[in-house]
Chain A
Amino acid sequence: MAFVGLCDCNNFFVSCERVFRPDLEHKPVMVLSNNDGCIVARSNEVKALGIKMGTPLYQVRDLVKRHNISVFSSNYQLYGDMSARVMNILRQTAPGIEVYSIDEAFLNLEEMPVGKLQPFARELSARIRREVGIPVSIGISPTKTLAKIASKLCKQYPALKGGCLMYRTQDVEKVLARFPVGDVWGIGRRSRAKLEMLGVASALDFYNMKSAQVYNMFTVTGLRTWKELHGEPCIGFEDVQPDRQTVCISRSFAKEMTTVEELDAAISTFTGKVAEKLRKAHLCAEQMSVFILTNRFREDAPQNYQMKTTLFEVATDDTLEMSERAAQCLRQIFRPGYAYKKAGVLCTRLVPKRGVQASMLDTLDRNKRASLMDTIDAINKLEGNYTVRLASQGEMDQFSARAMTSRRFTTRWDEIMEVKI
Chain B
Amino acid sequence: MSKEVELAEIHAGFPSPAEDFMDVALDLNKELVRNPSSTFFARVKGVSMIDDGVGDGDMLIIDKSVEPTDGCLAVCFVDGEFTLKRYRNMGDYALLMPANKDFKPIRVDADNQFAIWGVVRYLVKKV
B117 in contact with A416 (CB, 8 Å): no
Known contacts A22-B115, A88-B37, A132-B64; is-contact A421 B46 (Cβ 8 Å): yes
Known contacts A131-B64, A133-B64; is-contact A417 B82 (Cβ 8 Å): yes
A418 surroundings in chain B (CB, below 8 A): 42-43, 45, 82
Known contacts A89-B37, A133-B64; is-contact A417 B77 (Cβ 8 Å): no
**Distance A86 CA – B98 CA, assembled complex (angstroms):** 33
- Asked whether A397 is an interface residue with its Cβ less than 8 Å from the other chain, the reply is no
- Asked whether A48 is an interface residue with its Cβ less than 8 Å from the other chain, the reply is no
B40 in contact with A420 (CB, 8 Å): no
**Distance A421 CA – B82 CA, assembled complex (angstroms):** 8
A421 in contact with B44 (CB, 8 Å): yes
Q: Taking chain B's interface residues, is the majority helix, strand, or loop, or is none over half, making it mixed?
A: strand
Identify B83's interface contact among A22, A89, A420, CB under 8 A.
A420
Q: What are the interface flags for A152-174 relative to B under an 8 Å C-beta threshold, 1 for contact and 0 otherwise?
A: 00000000000000000000000
Q: How large is the interface on B (under 10, 10 to 19, 20 to 34, 35 or more residues)?
A: 20 to 34
- Asked whether A365 is an interface residue with its Cβ less than 8 Å from the other chain, the reply is no
A130 in contact with B65 (CB, 8 Å): yes
**Distance A416 CA – B39 CA, assembled complex (angstroms):** 12
B37 in contact with A131 (CB, 8 Å): yes
- Asked whether A1 is an interface residue with its Cβ less than 8 Å from the other chain, the reply is no
Q: How far, in Å, is B69 (CB) from chain A's closest CB?
A: 15
A132 in contact with B37 (CB, 8 Å): yes
- Asked whether A85 is an interface residue with its Cβ less than 8 Å from the other chain, the reply is yes
Interface residues of A, CB < 8 Å — how many?
20
B60 surroundings in chain A (CB, below 8 A): 419
Identify A409's interface contact among B40, B46, B47, B81, CB under 8 A.
B40
- Asked whether A258 is an interface residue with its Cβ less than 8 Å from the other chain, the reply is no
Known contacts A85-B37, A132-B38, A416-B42; is-contact A421 B64 (Cβ 8 Å): no
Q: Specify the chain B residue showing the minimal Cβ separation from A85.
A: B37
A419 in contact with B37 (CB, 8 Å): no
Known contacts A89-B37, A131-B64, A131-B65; is-contact A417 B49 (Cβ 8 Å): no
- Asked whether B13 is an interface residue with its Cβ less than 8 Å from the other chain, the reply is no
**Distance A419 CA – B96 CA, assembled complex (angstroms):** 15
Q: How far, in Å, is B38 (CB) from chain A's closest CB?
A: 4
B41 surroundings in chain A (CB, below 8 A): 410, 413, 416-417
Identify A419's interface contact among B36, B64, B75, CB under 8 A.
B75
- Contact residues of B between 38 and 66, Cβ < 8 Å to A: 38, 40-49, 54, 59-60, 64-65
- Asked whether A23 is an interface residue with its Cβ less than 8 Å from the other chain, the reply is yes
List 20 A-B residue pairs with CB atoms under 8 Å apart, sorted by A's residue number: A22-B117, A23-B113, A85-B37, A86-B37, A130-B64, A130-B65, A131-B65, A133-B64, A416-B42, A417-B40, A418-B42, A418-B82, A419-B43, A419-B45, A419-B82, A419-B84, A421-B47, A421-B49, A421-B84, A421-B98
- Given A23-B80, A419-B45, A421-B46, 18 new contacts (CB under 8 A): A22-B117, A23-B81, A85-B38, A88-B37, A130-B65, A132-B64, A416-B40, A416-B41, A416-B59, A417-B42, A417-B43, A418-B42, A418-B43, A419-B75, A419-B82, A421-B45, A421-B47, A421-B54
